[in-house]
Amino acid sequence: MDKVVASPEHAVADIEDGSTIAIAGFSVGHRFATSLILALREKGTQGLTLVCNSLGDPGATRGQILAENGQVKKLIAAFSVRPGTPTASEDQIAAGTMEVELVPQGILVERCRAGGAGIPAFYSPTGVTTDLAKGKELREFNGKPYVLEPAINVDYAFCRGYRADRLGNVQFRGGSQNFNPSFAKAARCAIVEVDEIVEPGEIPPELIDLPGIFVKRIVKTTQVSDGKAWRRPERRPSDKARLYNDKPALTRAGIAKRAAALVKEGTYVNLGVGIPTMVSNYLQERDVILHAENGVLGYGRMVSEEHEIDPDIYNAAGQFVAVTPGASFFDSVTSFEMARGGWIDTVILGAYEVDQTGSVANWSTADAKRGGIGGAMDLLSGKGDLIIVMEHSDSKGRPKLRRKCSYPLTGKGCVSYVVTDLALLRWDKDHFVLDEVAPGFSAEEVMALTDMDVTPASVVKTMA
């Protein structure tokens, strides 16, 4: 039983127009099945439905190059567009030529896992209070509402592994399992691109992450990664403060540092994309274990020097990180079991808006077809504290602390703390309390820059 095929072109040769393809991979482009994606672009197959985390940035050797080539008719993903990153897919979505189904990240992998397991549907707590639950069946269990989610099955899956044997047994490395196992199981034909192909028996049985029964074809990659391209530029320097009333507020790094001080000892913590990722730099020597949705438990500071970078060790934002003693790796299904199951003690996320009911909006500024849910809704369906970190006003100077969120909700009545570049707010039963303000600012100034109703503490302190 030899599942090795001669080339990526041979591996995709029978993919027909109208096929549904799941493309595994998480954030960092060099750990996608780039050889298979390029081969499919050259083949020119039309009318594709893609299931993926996101299509990626312009020109990225991910699903985006298939969209640029006019091959995609439908997208099922956790991210359809990203702010400030114009893409061919965004133009097609806006024009109505690409259909979109946005799915929370953890539900996306769970729907594929269910499809591979022969389970047609399941009930989930994720997104119950959001626009994504509209039109879906709701049912109560033990007094809590849950939404019915259908399984996903696909024709093909493009996966990327570290190595495989000729029987189709696959080993992943580090945090690069992510969506691969669940996508492979959901597929009629899973094709796995690997760095190395070995003979049966050369991979110890306990290191096989995806048994060959789920894999139809194995192909060796033809794409070589450039280590210099692994490092991702920061959109805005973390040490550049915004001005309010002609005075500097905290920097983005300062926001992260203050949020880190709210984290309790002996806890498991998930950090979102953006400012939250910087929190890891301020948790050194703390009794805290960090969790990432791509499948890492126990990572530390971000690393940027080439000699420190391991291409398979990165956080949910695609930033390379160091691991801590006792770290473990797993797939995204297991990662979101930890989130929805209530095992995560604290979640730290960025946001577009927080309102005075403790609700948060952080995934879309338009509608349910154009945005990036990521794993936020799954993370909020757990029971831990939620710390929101963000700048006090948006790029147009409008308050982000509002009486009512104007954007689609990510979660309702779920915020525990808000840390901005001007203030620390704490949720107290039914309202927010202003506990601290940035150096050089008064409580009155900060409240004047805030749209929501806030109660100042009896003594408002200065943020460290």
By annotation, the residues acting in catalysis are 293
Contacts of 353 (CB under 8 A, 6+ apart): 360, 361, 362, 400, 401, 402, 405, 406, 407
Is residue 240 classed exposed, middle or buried when 0-12, 13-18 and 19+ CB atoms within 10 A define those classes?
exposed
Q: How many angstroms separate the CA atoms of 101 and 370, rounded?
A: 10
Asked if residues 323 and 371 have their Cβ atoms less than 8 Å apart, the reply is no
Contacts of 14 (CB under 8 A, 6+ apart): none
Contacts of 397 (CB under 8 A, 6+ apart): none
Sign of the four-CA dihedral 23, 25, 27, 28? negative
Phi, psi (5° rounding) for residue 317?
-90, 0
Token pair 């989930």: residue: 124
Strand partners, 292: 296
Q: How many angstroms separate the CA atoms of 415 and 75, rounded?
A: 31
Strands, sheet with 121-124, edge to edge from the N-terminal-most edge strand: 121-124, 144-150, 138-141
Helix (H) or strand (E) segment spanning residue 355: strand 353-355
Identity of the residue numbered 262:
L
Distances (CA, A) of 397 to 83, 347, 401, 449, 451: 17, 27, 12, 9, 12
Residue 408 per-residue DSSP state: P
Asked if residues 362 and 351 have their Cβ atoms less than 8 Å apart, the reply is yes
3-class SS at 230? helix
As given in the structure block, the two tokens for residue 100 are 């979109």
3-class SS at 207? helix
Helix (H) or strand (E) segment spanning residue 68: helix 63-68
Q: How many CB atoms lie within 10 A of CB 391?
A: 20
Helix (H) or strand (E) segment spanning residue 389: strand 385-389
Residue 234 per-residue DSSP state: P
Q: How many angstroms separate the CA atoms of 30 and 34, rounded?
A: 8
Strand partners, 425: 418, 434
